[in-house]
Amino acid sequence: MEVPGKEEISVEDEAVDKSIFRDCSKIAFYRRQKQQLSKNFTYRALLDSVTTDRESTSFQIINEATKLPLLAEVYGIERNILRLKINEKTPLKPRYEVSDVLISKLNTVRLTSCSGDTGNLILSDEKGNLKCEVTANPFKIDLVSEKEVVMSINSLGQLYFEHLQSPPKQRATKENEKSTSIDTSQEDQEDVGLWEEKFGNFMDVKANGPSSIGLDFSLHGFEHVYGIPQHAESHQLKNTRDGDAYRLYNLDVYGYQIYDKMGIYGSVPYLLAHKLGRTVGIFWMNASETLVEINTEPAVEYVLTQMGPAAAKQKVRYRTDVRWISESGIIDVFLLTGPTPSDVFKQYSCLTGTQAMPPLFSLGYHQCRWNYEDEQDVMAVDAGFDEHDIPYDVIWLDIEHTEGKRYFTWDKKRFPDPKRMQELLRSKKRKLVVISDPHIKVDPDYSVYIKAKEQGFFVRTHEGGDFEGVCWPGLSSYLDFTNPKVREWYSGLFSFPAYQGSTDILFIWNDMNEPSVFRGPEQTMQKNAIHHGNWEHRELHNIYGFYQQMATAEALIQRSKGKERPFVLSRSFFAGSQKYGAVWTGDNTAEWSYLKISIPMLLTLSISGISFCGDLALCNFWLFLKSSDHEKPLWTEFPNELETFGIEDEYMLGSALLVHPVTEPKATTVDVFLPGSNEIWYDSKTSVCWEGGCTVKMPVTLDTIPVFQRGGSVVPIKTAVGRSTGWMTDLPYGLRVALSTQGSAVGELYLDDGHSFQYLHQRQFLHRKLSFCSSVLTNRCADEQGHFSSKCVVEQILVLGLRKEPSSVTSHSSDGKAEPVTFVYCGRTSTLSLEKLSLNIGANWEVHIQ
């Protein structure tokens, strides 16, 4: 077979050709569900079938038309989480259930049955914080909090479940169809894609036939919903129309269309709803192709007054209906009851894990482009950064550094001595990131290919042979990362003896792992390809890249014998990917519009648990703000301010800094909303003070953007910049103390060695609490279990919002020794500047302002 070159097979030459990808009208299971639901089938819960054990309460649900039973299981989970699973009662064979995403065996909370009539089942935990009411006919579940129904399940009657069937020996007739879960005539079977589905030149043959599922959720009182990355869309999710659902299906979509609901590189089936006084979340744990419909409507309620019914008045109470539709699997959904944004974030992280602690270098500047030609090119770029006094931490190599696009190799002509190149980078305390994709070049002389083929480690076709598709190396086979043995073997490829030319400053970039298959249906793998356990690719498509990142992170940990934190960036991701590293927003184009859309995309990732996310192609003058792993939307920090709910052109870094990036060409001013009527904000550049609850017009230039520090916060900063983060370890700190309207401020500082797991295993870290109260700045230990020695001192302190010039300033060590401090006070900006200090960051001390 003749394989074209990279320039011929690339799908990355221009903006996306949407004809390559399916919209909802071309997705058979979506069309089929819309057709069937129009027939108003209903489900009834059989409450006389209720059984209870230590972990769950189970009961049957029956379709009134087909009489086919389902089994529902309700679990109470610690932290006020409710889990609902719905599966066939007696499936023809097991249906796929997502594994490895939940961090461990969940701690369940026993739900007991409370009083209810024969048509209801009321379940509640011991404290009454978690309560749900199951209505039998028609089947519905209400989630109750503080005597208010905050969420209803199947209140619209859109539960949909296609039971597995044996392949028909001949085309079914209308009479045969009545005994199945699909009520479809012979004439329209082909149209709704029961056993075969055609798209372009591809035919998807479905061994299990139709197996899709769906369920609706009504969120009472909620107008604002967020989440379900990844889409190049607004942060607040929009209403959908027929054929316009949000699609979760990982695809290689270069130059993706902005403000569009098509799925791109990653999928996190997790949605949050927020209103005044309540935040809730829905985690739909399904890895097959998924579509999400959203409809928000105002509902009018009539409130009776003392004047009687005639004087009833109206009030508007919003309701948002969300319908999840997946191609296969089971219904396995977690309901997170909040009540605050912070509570929901904690609830989700206790299910899928927290963001992995990154090595410090990974938060610095990364220099990446399609390719650097050779070692001389790398060294020239490295020297250029030094020559122009630009700090950077990491340089990246794309696939061209390999020998014939074979991963774990080096081009001997262009990279004859990769270790020497890495040692030069190491001497400057810099790192190297190289690419490792899931496709392996079909080459009988390539050892990685030979060993994987011998052991049966590739994804297979439904006929039984190794799946082969075209990607950068040409004809390639794809490692089956869903197989634990494949992950273990793949991790071993990164060991120093196996990966010749690698060193401990080499880290990894997983690309093309949606997986991307050139010339495949929608540039990805056929859905009837076979994985470990004989599961079809359709069942687990969205979790494929998750498994590669998992294996790669484990590889780097093993390489260091468990001592060093890995850095792995993955283009494809799923719920829980945060445990293994970072992600980015994929391959876009260098245009202002993509810069602008990257903000809501990153905010959506952040609230979905993946807080270490970035935008590699658009790192301009505000890079350091965009690569942070503490970026979050304003509404999460100010949940009781309606004005913040729809803001997506500015964001918070932690709880102290507000940033408004410049996203329009030739902009000279931007309008910045400063939240909080009781808050006070300080311009980080001029120290000018602004009251919250208003919008201010700020001048901007190409090298400045508005950053405001929140009153009441203390922000530690390094007082100088090194050539990389490695040079900055012992550099002094400055403290920016921004006073609240009450004249106080608090902040924290965390330090560890920046690269190892000693912070976790040996408690080697420093956690300090910085507080300003009654004109005294105090540095105290925030966690007595931590122990870490640091040479860093605080050499500068800037106090913002000090209304009166002090008569003296003194520092006090833990032994009571007091020393005078030289200070400068500016009455115009109400700032106090303390210089030439030498206060150890790890020691207890105070600074008194009198």
Q: What is the CATH number of the domain that holds 85?
A: 2.60.40.1760
237-246, 562-571, 752-761, range with the lowest pLDDT = 237-246
Q: How far is residue 580's CA from residue 552's CA, in Å, rounded to a whole number?
A: 8
Per-residue confidence (pLDDT) for residue 303, from 0 to 100: 66
- Strands (E) across 540-653 are located at 568-570, 582-584, 613-614, 631-632, 651-653
pLDDT of amino acid 195: 95
Mean pLDDT of the chain: 92
pLDDT above 90 for 268? yes
Residues 657 and 785 in one domain: no
Count the Cβ atoms, other than its own, within 10 Å of residue 167.
Answer: 10
Amino acid letter, residue 819: E
Say which DSSP state 20 is in: G
Return the higher-pLDDT residue of 642 and 299: 642
Same domain membership, residue 752 and residue 672: no
Same domain, 738 and 678: no
Average pLDDT over residues 581-605: 92
Token reading at 109: 């909370």
From the list 587, 631, 641, 795, the catalytic residue is 587
Judge if 703 and 808 occupy the same domain.
no
Helix (H) or strand (E) holding 213: strand 213-220
Query: Active site residue: 197, 216, 393, 514, which one?
Result: 514
pLDDT at residue 765 in the model: 97
Please identify, among 708, 732, 757, the residue that sits at the C-terminal boundary of a domain. Answer: 708
Would you state the pLDDT for residue 192? Answer: 75
Q: Is a pLDDT exceeding 80 seen at residue 671?
A: yes
Give the model's pLDDT for residue 312. Answer: 63
What distance in Å separates the CA atoms of residue 410 and residue 403, rounded to the nearest whole number? Answer: 5
Q: Are 638 and 751 within one domain?
A: no
**Higher pLDDT, residue 625 or 372:** 372
Name the least confident of 159-173, 263-277, 594-608, 633-647: 159-173
Beta bridge partners, 160, equal 214
Let me know if 190 is exposed, middle or buried by CB neighbors in 10 A (0-12, 13-18, 19+): middle
Q: Is residue 595 part of a domain?
A: no
Confidence of residue 147 (pLDDT cuts 50, 70, 90): confident
Q: Are residues 677 and 824 in the same domain?
A: no
**Residue 309: what pLDDT?**
55
- If asked whether residues 660 and 685 sit together in one domain, one would say yes
Is residue 153 located within the same domain as residue 276?
yes
- 304 and 296 Cβ atoms separated by less than 8 Å: no
Co-location of 746 and 670 in the same domain: no
Q: Is the pLDDT of residue 2 over 70?
A: no
Per-residue pLDDT at 622 exceeds 80: no
Answer whether residue 654 shows pLDDT above 70.
yes
- pLDDT for the residue numbered 615: 73
Residue 173, pLDDT above cutoff 80: no
Tell me, yes or no, whether 677 lies in a domain.
yes
Same structural domain, 658 and 790: no
Predicted structure pTM score: 0.94
pLDDT, position 191? 53
Question: Starting at the edge strand that comes first in sequence, how are the strands of the sheet with 631-632 ordered?
Answer: 631-632, 651-653, 657-659, 707-710, 680-683, 689-691
Residues 642 and 736 in one domain: no
Closest-CA residue to 134 (of 147, 125, 124): 124
**Element at 9 (helix H, strand E):** helix 6-9
Q: What percent of the chain has pLDDT over 70?
A: 92
> Is 90 exceeded by the pLDDT of residue 61?
yes
Q: Residue 659 maps to which CATH number?
A: 2.60.40.1180
Residue 387's pLDDT is 97
Residue 747 counted as domain residue: yes
pLDDT at 655 exceeding the cut of 80? yes
Q: What's residue 775's pLDDT? A: 97
Please give the residue range of the domain that contains residue 695: 631-708
Give the model's confidence band at 371: pLDDT under 50 very low, under 70 low, under 90 confident, else very high. Answer: confident
Whether the predicted pLDDT of 132 surpasses 60:
yes
Percent of residues, the chain, with pLDDT higher than 90: 84
pLDDT at res. 39? 82
Residue 417 among the catalytic residues: no
Q: Is a pLDDT exceeding 80 seen at residue 7?
A: no
Residue 168 within a domain: no
Q: Does residue 5 register a pLDDT over 90? A: no
Q: What CA–CA distances, in Å, run from 814 to 595, 734, 818, 822?
A: 49, 20, 10, 20
Average pLDDT over residues 653-658: 96
Q: Can 587 be counted among the known catalytic residues?
A: yes
pLDDT for residue 446 is more than 80: yes
pLDDT score for 41: 80
* Domain count along the chain: 3
Name the one residue in this structure whose structure tokens are 């392996």: 440
**Domain end among 309, 334, 352:** 352
Residues 686 and 787 in one domain: no
Of 708, 729, 759, the residue that ends a domain is 708
The reply to whether 553 falls in a domain is: no
> pLDDT band for position 619 (50/70/90)?
very low
Which residue, among 385, 367, 363, has the nearest Cα to 626 in the 3D structure? 363
Reported as a pLDDT band with limits 50, 70 and 90, residue 631 is confident
Residue 586 resides in a domain: no
- Judged by average pLDDT, the poorest of 238-242, 303-307, 800-804 is 303-307
Q: Is the model's pLDDT at 54 over the cut of 60? A: yes
Comparing CA positions, the residue from 824, 794, 792, 827 lying closest to residue 809 is 824
Could you report the per-residue pLDDT of 461-479, keeping only the tens digit for each?
Answer: 999 999 999 999 999 999 9
Distance CA 801, CA 176 (A): 79
Q: How confident is the model at residue 701, as a pLDDT? A: 87
191 is catalytic: no
* Residue 1 located in a structural domain: no
pLDDT at 652: 96
Name the DSSP letter for residue 238: P
Q: How confident is residue 639, by pLDDT bands cut at 50, 70 and 90?
A: very high
133, 466, 511, 648: the active-site residue = 511
Residue 382 lies in a domain: no
Least reliable range by pLDDT among 183-187, 435-439, 441-445, 461-465: 183-187
